Structure 1
């Protein structure tokens, strides 16, 4: 640094006097500020979904304002010196420019940052206290930085500044530890979340710690030579630039508004003035002093950043998103084409001979024994699906890598221990019966499944099946282990083709299955646990089980989405066109969506969850993508737990134009304030607490002819006036600790009056959500001629038979597309301008007609029949010889 000017020599002497004469008071004041800041920081982080975006942008302005007023005060004492007027003028101009920069930057960031639907409770202190705490923390940050600057400029030759900084670090750590301890003592249910951190979270915390410590040390060092506002302003500018430049934009997302571009341009022009002042100061050695090298570097950096920034923003503003057709129109057209192609290849066979040939060509092995019985059963019941059962093939392929005896042993292991929450079905001598010791509350499920199997049990080999009695899926196998199982399974299947003579099922299969658990008393106590399963209920499942089946470089394995209040556009881009879901299959994958950790009850806190990371043969009614349960048709729908009464049917045009939903808080177990992220709660909150003045960016026609679409800012009240919203919980809060039950009771209206399920058919728009597992309402909804909006993470046996945007409207788990979907199908204003009701009626009709053809009870039987024929071959010791052979003509 160049020799310091008289103004700085005065400040040095002033600070030296202050710190030498008032060191104890100064140190105590600084430590108190640090302690209070840590308390506020923790409060904001616990309620980050309620926080304002970009509050810290004002930090450079407060620092420059302090410096300006401090300069004026010191200058008044030196009114006869030559530097007085220059110092005062430079400081005030600098503060003014920094003020313009921070205000415009804050406005551009806060108006362009998309929020997630994670709930900020309106009845809690968070929605009001957190923003106030943020601004209080901002003032504390200003004081702390000024104090650190004073310590740094006092010099590091002595040990006192170093000692003070060390004390501040210990105070910060102590404050956090005390708060954490008190919080856990008061809320013991948080214990599992606090002390069971996965390795990725720990690595993220370590990285943040090292990065934060390095940044703080560098900042303290710079402040020993520079005014504190200079490094803070540079850091703020770089952060804002990075945010704006990295903002996710595509042709299907709205371009930044003109006001955002104008505000961000003002911010950068203000920064140009600030850099110019720094440059001038470097020549005159007056306030805001920098040496020549630093100032030249900042000028070059600013010019480079400005050119890139303005080039990107100008291209977006000059070429805003203008689409020839609405993305939903494209998605519906593409869905029709995809559906037609799938349906053609799903039923190409017109005879048993063709079905056998098609099976061999698709899967590379001969069909299982009794395939002719299955074909006869399927065709006699008018099945439109003969050849495509890819779900069965993908579910069972890895089990070919496991010896049949080992599979039978694993099945017995589960059925011997009722703790594993598995109920058994024994198929023997052409009959199906329940094994003993089935939990009474879930007996209906196994009885329903048994009633499906009895229709064709005479053609099945003897076997035992372990059925998952819980709603949640269970089998989460790590990616590398699963890839190895699939490879070995493929090799094992090839060995089947080496057989010269294919044989029928073994006749003595029942003798091979363990029989101990069929006794009146189980061989193990019901409480006997299994070393292969874990009790993981009421704890986050995302990292430990949800994403372990992802490839190693998946975003969900490499990053964490910490800010629950912000929307992750990069997480949706692989499976969406702008706000609209375009790939239903890919949207279920957790591998590219780290933010889903906080946006579904199963990921946050499943109610009954006993998973395994070994490939156990568990049959489940549904599963999350990435899990390896064997999916079968749910008895819930087969035994008519909920049904569509056709006598209550109404034409779509006669239905009320409303979004209707009733349900309970049964998606996950509310604990540790996690209910704010559960999908059902987010939906009810979004539907009932929407502010009509909120501005939406909606794609609307450019003219009456609808020759093109572009984004326009429309008030939410316009959507609400076109379509009625009738959404609420029923009964009262369930599956929650007392504290969370009370919080939800305050936040939501719980409708105490019962609603007949058949009342749903009066409404045009029905939303379907997961519960603890799959939704049992979806199939009746499809039959009703209402338009079904489906937001499902759990996948069922029929996924490959239905096509999103043709048979139903897919909804992203985040629900950020909710209002855009309603605006498209329901229109705007009281007259429903721009409504696409014909398209809504067409999708509703197509879903109803196709469900009546391929989702019947007969189709459930056909699917289950084929699944168990395939499974019967896998668990047979002679599976390398088993196959169906066409009889000679």
Structure 2
């Protein structure tokens, strides 16, 4: 650091023999400031540093304060002669007596800082206040206004205009402000240009923003976020003005570097004190103390970059006006932002009309005009500085930069989504679907099925495979050979011993507080384990009915079913990979066997049964109460807490995007995050779209990830059977009792032909994504969808305001014009009161979606109402959506936006049986407009094929066939002699 500072001193030497403080050679620090700003701006949304304002500010301030202190202590003392600031005790800083150790000397230097002066108090207050305000803005970034910082040059120049009005002496007519003649007029003109530039920049940033539909509710403090941003702007302006004055010696002479270093370090100490007290809250403690490696790396890297920018900016303020320094920073940031927007197509949209093109042009030319105009305002420490960026040719540079961005936009930026793009995706998906379906039923008899099994999975089929085959054929199952989902789910369990699997299963059932229900299969009979919550016992009763017809062919076993909606098992990537590798070796050992046997009659040790003893309601009440309070050391409660960085990123490869950067901006899309599974802005790889490892931006865009209602999870591989799971979890999928038990069913008697259905988008549901606390609901998937539908024109530029839904309980939402100008009505609303929320959030949700806190909520409607509409939307709730299978059977067109995956995932295909949507919802209205208009033929075809396939491959018989095969595989896994088990065809 000292060597770098010495180099900068040499580079900043004055050409007129002036001191370093008055040097006009500012080219190098200007470049450092611009490049540092550009670097930080390019990483702004992807850096974990900015989602932790207190950590980031404290570290940055400490680095900056240290740099300024070292500069004043070791560089300026050797290169300049000046009178240092004199401490209150009368000793000058340079000649102060040496203390017994370095700590005392440092404390003496800090105490010598004139903190009582107005400028010092203003600076420290502004630094601390800005950090607190930025922390609040970050927490509710979706309520912020983009581009307000571009008004910083205007704010500074307006301050100068108000403060430095010329005062003319009565006789001489001289201006006592000390400015050159005409300076006030030039400053006023500069202020007007700066205002116009701020407006143009803000408008351009708004037009190039890709929004996720996050909600800013009509309440406090959310609606005050723009005010917080304005206060931040005021703090920045005051800091620049007062630092500039201190550097130019307008408010006292002496070592300004030392003074600023002490002030900045003092501000860091105040922030550290405030941050300490926030750690007493459990959630805040996790956030503040347990930092990921990504967070630590980003904090260090960006703190160094910003500290470098601050140091360069402080140097410039000794010579260059504060407004010009502010312009350098904001212009660099805006240019980087526009560069990033080239590749996601938003610049094409923003500059597709004369207004957008004009404001975009002024963003570039305005910078040149402001820098050229600044030369004549007289706001500099030395007259007429020879600065390269004040040359008249800077306007030409700005025009050249604008032309460069335009050419990049036209050549490199993607175009709009065209109907033929969707048609190509449909054609490709159809080919892949045909291939899978034809390969899923190649076998014509039992021997071929056994041989196909061995060839596909490398081991012989499990015992009693012939019984499964007989059942599958008897119910005309279209899937005989392809059950890759089961083998993928069970592979890690081949990596642990059968005895350990049995032990962990019993552990789950011995702890009813964990919310597991058990089925005990013994001697061909199925019994329900005790200690199950009454509200969830129906699930086990349904599963008992599903299994009983084939239970006689199963070995004795105990099964632990997850009674919560949310998945439970997230094993760190390296550990899960080790299980899989061990599992592959174990399966290879089975494949090498010569002779195979049936299931063993017993296990050693046997399945424990002590916990199965029923407890009397009265006599055993103390024991029962104690049992329901018993906690497990293997499971952690993360309900109502963000889970992404603890439970998702740890299950991803070390080099995955989630372990490389954090996307914290809830309201702006991350184009690179969705690019791997999108083609021409529509989902082309449905399987990959559920993989969170390349989508760090979804940390805040899904209720389960940001605030789950119930989240008791483990990092240990427990044998948990769940109805659905996210890609990064290791739960074992099974056919859910919700659909098997007909909790929501399609009534064939109320079927409506396609041509009689309304060309409308329909959705009714509850806000069940997660628990709404601390405003978390504002980014939930379902809330974003309903909000987008109610504010359609804001999110979809071609929306028509011609027709509205007539339901009086539904907010009047406009129709959209399809690609052939056919209107598609939008009929979307929440129903009922909002639950799963804190009181404040319940009121906010009710006000946002129903109009006022006392408004009557929309009533629930008959589920069969869905079939009157062509376009049905299916969205994740707390987990999977139970309505999707009825949607498939209805002959309406199902659209699905989901991260949760279920047992039928491999057999239901996107673009053939349903329309996939990205959970960011950026594609929804484009796709709806296609299928509601020109693509109506494709829509009817997909709806018809989805219905036919659901009636063929998603029946209760198909669920039972899947469960039968799953439990045969599981029975082999938990058998001590599993290496010797298998079916041999005759």
Instruction: Please tell me the TM-score bracket, short chain as reference.
Output: 0.7 to 0.9
Give the Cα–Cα distance (whole angstroms) in 2 for the partners of residues 342 and 252 of structure 1.
37
Alignment partner of 2:843 out of 735, 742, 745: 742
- Conserved? CA contact 1:728–1:751, under 8 Å: no
Aligned pairs for 1:124-523 (under 5 A) are: 124-127=220-223, 129-154=224-249, 158=254, 162-163=258-259, 166-167=262-263, 170-171=266-267, 174=270, 197-199=290-292, 200-201=294-295, 204-205=298-299, 207-247=301-341, 249=343, 256-258=350-352, 259=354, 260-274=356-370, 289-290=385-386, 310-317=403-410, 321=415, 325-509=419-603, 512-521=606-615
Distance 1:357 1:219, change over 3 A: same
Could you list the per-position Cα deviations for residues 676-718 of structure 1 after superposition, in whole angstroms to 9, with x for gaps in the alignment?
1111122222222x164766279xxxxxxxxxxxxxxxx9865
Distance 1:453 1:305, change over 3 A: farther
Equivalence for 2:898: 792
SS at match of 1:121: coil
Q: CA deviation at 1:501?
A: 0.8
SS at match of 2:463: coil
Alignment partner of 2:712 out of 610, 624, 628: 610
1:850 aligns with 2:949: yes
Give the Cα–Cα distance (whole angstroms) in 2 for the partners of residues 743 and 321 of structure 1.
38
Q: CA deviation at 1:542?
A: 1.1
- Conserved? CA contact 2:542–2:737, under 8 Å: yes
Unaligned runs of 5+ in 2: 1-13, 25-84, 86-112, 616-622, 800-813, 851-855
Distance 1:565 1:81, change over 3 A: closer
Could you list the per-position Cα deviations for residues 156-187 of structure 1 after superposition, in whole angstroms to 9, with x for gaps in the alignment?
97367744663465457647865996x999xx
Alignment partner of 2:679 out of 561, 577, 588: 577
Q: CA deviation at 1:857?
A: 0.4
Could you list the per-position Cα deviations for residues 603-639 of structure 1 after superposition, in whole angstroms to 9, with x for gaps in the alignment?
0111121111111111111101110000000011111
SS at match of 1:386: coil
SS at match of 1:437: coil
Alignment partner of 1:549 out of 624, 645, 651: 651
Distance 1:717 1:775, change over 3 A: closer
- Conserved? CA contact 2:341–2:347, under 8 Å: no
SS at match of 1:454: helix
- Conserved? CA contact 2:519–2:529, under 8 Å: yes
Of stretches 543-552 and 70-79 in structure 1, the one that deviates more from structure 2 is 70-79
Distance 1:33 1:324, change over 3 A: closer
Q: CA deviation at 1:383?
A: 0.6
Could you list the per-position Cα deviations for residues 62-83 of structure 1 after superposition, in whole angstroms to 9, with x for gaps in the alignment?
3345557777738997569998
Of stretches 859-868 and 105-114 in structure 1, the one that deviates more from structure 2 is 105-114
Aligned pairs for 1:744-783 (under 5 A) are: 744-749=845-850, 751-783=857-889
SS at match of 2:667: coil
Distance 1:151 1:226, change over 3 A: same
Alignment partner of 1:565 out of 652, 667, 674: 667
Give the Cα–Cα distance (whole angstroms) in 2 for the partners of residues 462 and 434 of structure 1.
14
Distance 1:291 1:191, change over 3 A: closer
Give the Cα–Cα distance (whole angstroms) in 1 for the partners of residues 650 and 400 of structure 2.
43
Alignment partner of 2:140 out of 47, 54, 57: 47
Alignment partner of 2:777 out of 652, 662, 675: 675
Alignment partner of 1:62 out of 136, 141, 155: 155
Q: CA deviation at 1:22?
A: 13
Distance 1:34 1:880, change over 3 A: closer
SS at match of 1:326: helix
Give the Cα–Cα distance (whole angstroms) in 1 for the partners of residues 881 and 114 of structure 2.
71
Give the Cα–Cα distance (whole angstroms) in 1 for the partners of residues 438 and 291 of structure 2.
47
Could you list the per-position Cα deviations for residues 815-847 of structure 1 after superposition, in whole angstroms to 9, with x for gaps in the alignment?
222322232223xxxxxxx45332222211111
Give the Cα–Cα distance (whole angstroms) in 1 for the partners of residues 167 and 334 of structure 2.
33
Q: CA deviation at 1:641?
A: 1.1
Equivalence for 2:56: none
Equivalence for 2:641: 539
- Conserved? CA contact 2:190–2:374, under 8 Å: no
- Conserved? CA contact 1:463–1:510, under 8 Å: no
Q: CA deviation at 1:197?
A: 4.7
SS at match of 1:362: helix
1:106 aligns with 2:215: no
Distance 1:32 1:123, change over 3 A: closer
Q: CA deviation at 1:264?
A: 2.9
Q: TM-score, normalised by structure 1?
A: 0.87
Distance 1:264 1:385, change over 3 A: same
Distance 1:150 1:579, change over 3 A: same
Of stretches 780-789 and 752-761 in structure 1, the one that deviates more from structure 2 is 752-761
SS at match of 1:53: coil
Could you list the per-position Cα deviations for residues 737-771 of structure 1 after superposition, in whole angstroms to 9, with x for gaps in the alignment?
22222222222226353322222212222111222
Equivalence for 1:813: 919
- Conserved? CA contact 1:693–1:717, under 8 Å: no
Distance 1:322 1:123, change over 3 A: closer
Give the Cα–Cα distance (whole angstroms) in 2 for the partners of residues 694 and 533 of structure 1.
41
Q: TM-score, normalised by structure 2?
A: 0.79
Could you list the per-position Cα deviations for residues 9-66 of structure 1 after superposition, in whole angstroms to 9, with x for gaps in the alignment?
9x9xxxx9xxx99983444455555555455434433322111111101112333455
Q: CA deviation at 1:241?
A: 1.4
Alignment partner of 2:982 out of 855, 869, 883: 883
Give the Cα–Cα distance (whole angstroms) in 2 for the partners of residues 171 and 609 of structure 1.
39
Equivalence for 1:829: none
Equivalence for 2:74: none
Unaligned runs of 5+ in 1: 699-714, 827-833
Alignment partner of 2:736 out of 622, 634, 637: 634
- Conserved? CA contact 2:897–2:917, under 8 Å: yes
Distance 1:498 1:193, change over 3 A: closer
RMSD across aligned C-alpha pairs, in angstroms? Answer: 3.8
SS at match of 1:455: helix
Give the Cα–Cα distance (whole angstroms) in 2 for the partners of residues 503 and 208 of structure 1.
62
Q: CA deviation at 1:731?
A: 2.0
1:24 aligns with 2:117: yes
Equivalence for 2:723: 621
SS at match of 1:453: helix
Give the Cα–Cα distance (whole angstroms) in 1 for the partners of residues 295 and 115 of structure 2.
43
Give the Cα–Cα distance (whole angstroms) in 2 for the partners of residues 804 and 208 of structure 1.
41
Distance 1:299 1:515, change over 3 A: farther
SS at match of 1:513: coil
Equivalence for 1:731: 832
Give the Cα–Cα distance (whole angstroms) in 2 for the partners of residues 497 and 554 of structure 1.
34
Give the Cα–Cα distance (whole angstroms) in 1 for the partners of residues 763 and 478 of structure 2.
32
- Conserved? CA contact 2:214–2:666, under 8 Å: yes
Q: CA deviation at 1:303?
A: 8.4
SS at match of 1:520: coil
Could you list the per-position Cα deviations for residues 548-597 of structure 1 after superposition, in whole angstroms to 9, with x for gaps in the alignment?
21111111122122221222222111111243222111111111111111
SS at match of 1:657: strand
Alignment partner of 1:120 out of 185, 206, 216: 216
Of stretches 311-320 and 722-731 in structure 1, the one that deviates more from structure 2 is 311-320
Equivalence for 1:73: 166
Q: CA deviation at 1:100?
A: 5.0
SS at match of 1:232: helix
Distance 1:228 1:880, change over 3 A: same
Distance 1:26 1:541, change over 3 A: closer
